[in-house]
Amino acid sequence: MVVTLSLMGCPRDGSADRPSDDDSRSARASDSSPAAPSSAPAVFAPPPVRPGKPATVPSVRTYNQRTGPGWRPAAGARVVADPGGPLADEARRLAEDLRLPTGPGPARPGDVELGLRAGQSGGPESYELTVQGRKATITAPDEAGLFYGTRTVVQAVRTAGGLPEGVLRDGPDRPQRGLNLDIARKHFSAGWIEARLREMADLKLNQLALHFSDDQGFRIESASHPEVVSPQHLTKAELRRIVALASALHITVVPEIDSPGHLGAVMTAHPALQLRDAAGTVARGAVDVANPEAARVVDDLLREFAPLFPGPYFHLGSDEYRALTAKNPQVAYPRLAELARQKYGPRALVQDLATGWLNDRAAVVRALGKTPKAWNDGFFRGGVVTPDKTIEVEYWTGKELGARPPQEYLNEGRTVVNLNDEYLYYVLGEPNQFRYPTGERIYRQWSPAVLRGTVSVPAGPTGADRIPGGRLAVWCDRAEAQTPEQVAAGIRMPLAAVAQKLWDPAPPQLTWADFSALATRVRR
| Residues identified as active-site | 320
Which 3 state secondary structure label does DSSP give 509? coil
- Among 143, 98, 104, CA closest to 120: 143
Residue 282: φ, ψ to 5°? -70, 135
DSSP for 180-244, written as a single string: EEE-SSS---HHHHHHHHHHHHHTT--EEEEEEESSS-B-B--SS-GGG--SS-B-HHHHHHHHH
Which 3 state secondary structure label does DSSP give 329? helix
Residue 192: φ, ψ to 5°? -65, -45
CA atoms of 64 and 47, how far apart (whole Å): 21
In angstroms, the Cα distances linking 396 to 175, 195, 372, 475 are 18, 26, 16, 12
CA atoms of 27 and 34, how far apart (whole Å): 10
- Among 490, 481, 487, CA closest to 437: 490
In angstroms, the Cα distances linking 290 to 267, 287, 332 are 15, 9, 15
CA atoms of 176 and 251, how far apart (whole Å): 10
- Among 178, 149, 174, 125, CA closest to 60: 149
Q: Is the peptide bond before 505 cis (omega within 30 degrees of 0)?
A: no
Residue 64 · residue 160 · CB < 8 Å? no
Beta 176-182 vs 135-140: how paired, if at all?
unpaired
In angstroms, the Cα distances linking 202 to 344, 394, 443 are 50, 25, 18
Which 3 state secondary structure label does DSSP give 61? coil
Alpha-carbon Rg for the chain in angstroms: 25
Which 3 state secondary structure label does DSSP give 426? strand
Which 3 state secondary structure label does DSSP give 389? coil
DSSP for 343-384, written as a single string: HH-TT--HHHHHHHHHHHHHHHHHHTT-EEEEEGGG--SS-S
Residue 336: φ, ψ to 5°? -65, -40
DSSP summary character for residue 76? T
Residue 77 · residue 111 · CB < 8 Å? yes
CA atoms of 379 and 403, how far apart (whole Å): 9
- Bridge partners (DSSP) of residue 469 are 176
CA atoms of 480 and 486, how far apart (whole Å): 11
Which residues, other chains included, contact 19 with Cβ-Cβ below 8 Å and sequence gap of 6+? 89, 244, 247, 248
